[in-house]
Amino acid sequence: MAIQEKMLKNGQKRFKVRVRDHSGQWYKVMTFKLKRDAERYERELLEKRGLGELSLAKSVRDQSVGDYIHTWAETMRSKVSAGWRKSQDQMLRDYVLPSICSVKLLELRTEDLGRIFKKMEDLGRSAQLKLHVYNLLHQILDDAAHADQLILRNPLSTRFKPSLTISERSHLKPDEARRLLAASRDLDLGPAIWLGLLAALRPSEVQGLRWESVDFTTGLIQIRDAFKRKVGVIEPYPKGKHIGTVPMVAALRDLLKERRQGRGPTDFVVPGSRQPMLSYSSFLYGLRRLCQSHGLTVVTPHELRHSATELWVEQGATEEDIVRLLNHSSAASVRRYLHRSPDRLKKIASVIDISLPTPIPAPKSSSPLRLVR
């Protein structure tokens, strides 16, 4: 049946018209409020099919995967950040296009897509990278099938989707975190480390943080900007596409007040040694040397964020508190930051009191029981 009737929640009806041409492709799918308009459009499509008119022009039928991906990249990524767009372009250039660029889009088969992941397997690429390529291809081919209606279905099989083994990120235990805070307090890199450990800021947010975003009156840090290393620019509204806020613990507020002296509102909170903003390499290698020199677990700037959750949970923060601290939208994405450390359970186990009551002796019978027949 070419016309599909659908009832909306408000009780109104909609009529969708779907008709295939002789090649099996859909003519343009349209939805109407009135059934008579849907019937009129259905008749038009049936006449086209009777005359042998195909839904797609010859230029579209001959379109290669490479041509479609080029068009898709130009028109379908308006909401993609510059850094992620650059990563997508690299994945397409290195893995996707060499395998299927010249294949006609209408003739693309699951086996063609399998070559991409076979090549990545031969090159020893990580499961995480393969998952990124899979998700990118899935989006492109979904758009070809649904948004542009150029193919009947998405030919990408779920068997190519890699499963990831989630491993624990390195992190500092609370005692180690306190030692690092003490060791770094008076160093130039100190504010960066303290912001990562006590406010759980991402390295990109530490780099882009300006004094105008630090409010000593309310005790809050506003996360307005983040430095994107891949494209070398500061972008407004980082993760989550909204301005997040993080409370300052007293020690962090005191440290920042000291460093605020003589600085302007648009100056960076953590300046670099030779430039206005701290570079990621200086942050990374400076933190590594500091950890090594004090016998601490070596962590990256991002792993300071993982270490921050340990400190907050130690002080009683709940999972919901950690969601707000990290400025995530859901608890599911935060669970990677809640580490499976036995220390908290050991501490709880050490104070659990199981004082068993003294057993009450059973009363003695005055006379032995006898079996009565």
Predicted pLDDT of residue 149: 79
Average pLDDT rounded to a whole number, residues 266-283: 94
Per-residue pLDDT tens for 327-367? 766 655 655 666 555 565 556 566 556 566 676 676 665 55
| Percentage of residues in the chain having pLDDT higher than 90 | 57
Least confident of 230-234, 296-300, 304-308: 230-234
Q: 179 and 326: one domain? A: yes
Q: Which residue has the higher pLDDT, 288 or 345?
A: 288
> Residue 301 domain-assigned?
yes
| Percentage of residues in the chain having pLDDT higher than 70 | 86
Q: How far apart are CA 13 and CA 248, in angstroms?
A: 54
Helices of type H across the chain: 35-50, 58-61, 65-75, 82-91, 97-100, 110-122, 127-142, 174-184, 190-198, 203-208, 250-260, 280-293, 301-314, 319-326, 331-334, 343-351
Indicate if the pLDDT at residue 211 is higher than 70: yes
Average pLDDT rounded to a whole number, residues 192-216: 95
Q: 126 and 201: one domain? A: no
Predicted pLDDT of residue 150: 84
Q: 186 and 287: one domain? A: yes
Q: 133 and 229: one domain? A: no
> Residue 366 domain-assigned?
no
Q: What domain count does the chain have?
A: 3
Q: 228 and 325: one domain? A: yes
Predicted pLDDT of residue 53: 84
Tell me if residue 18 falls in helix, strand or coil.
coil
Q: 251 and 285: one domain? A: yes
Per-residue pLDDT tens for 228-258? 888 888 888 766 666 788 999 999 999 999 9
Q: 225 and 95: one domain? A: no
Q: 141 and 210: one domain? A: no
| Tokens coding 66 | 């490479």
For helices 301-314 and 280-293, give the axis angle rounded to 10 degrees: 60
Q: Which residue has the higher pLDDT, 122 or 358?
A: 122
End position of a domain, from candidates 110, 133, 160: 160
Look at residues 181, 201, 186 and name the one whose alpha carbon lies nearest to residue 296: 181
Q: How far apart are CA 345 and CA 314, in angstroms?
A: 11
CB neighbour class for 206 (10 Å; exposed up to 12, middle 13-18, buried from 19): buried
**Cβ atoms within 10 Å, residue 114:** 15
Predicted pLDDT of residue 62: 87
pTM above 0.75, yes or no: no
Indicate if the pLDDT at residue 58 is higher than 90: no
Q: 324 and 230: one domain? A: yes
| CATH classification at residue 100 | 1.10.150.130
Q: How far apart are CA 117 and CA 98, in angstroms?
A: 12
> Residue 292 domain-assigned?
yes
Predicted pLDDT of residue 271: 95
Indicate if the pLDDT at residue 277 is higher than 90: yes
Least confident of 21-35, 48-62, 85-99, 359-373: 359-373
Please check whether residue 46 is in contact with residue 2, taking contact to mean a CB–CB distance below 8 angstroms. Answer: yes
Q: Which residue has the higher pLDDT, 80 or 291?
A: 291
CA distances from 83 to 58, 107, 127, 232, 233 (A): 36, 32, 21, 9, 9
Per-residue pLDDT tens for 130-171? 999 999 999 999 999 888 878 878 999 999 999 887 667 889
Range of the domain at 29: 3-55
Predicted pLDDT of residue 244: 83
> Residue 220 domain-assigned?
yes
Q: 301 and 323: one domain? A: yes
> Residue 369 domain-assigned?
no
Q: How confident is the model at residue 97 (pLDDT cuts 50, 70, 90)?
A: very high
Predicted pLDDT of residue 186: 94
Q: How far apart are CA 324 and CA 308, in angstroms?
A: 13
End position of a domain, from candidates 55, 72, 91: 55
Predicted pLDDT of residue 176: 95
Q: 116 and 227: one domain? A: no
Predicted pLDDT of residue 113: 96
> Residue 350 domain-assigned?
no
> Residue 368 domain-assigned?
no
Q: 212 and 130: one domain? A: no
Averaged pLDDT score across all residues of the chain:
87
Indicate the Cα dihedral angle 271, 274, 275, 278, nearest 10°: -40
End position of a domain, from candidates 131, 160, 189: 160
> Residue 353 domain-assigned?
no
| CATH classification at residue 211 | 1.10.443.10
Q: How far apart are CA 201 and CA 225, in angstroms?
A: 11
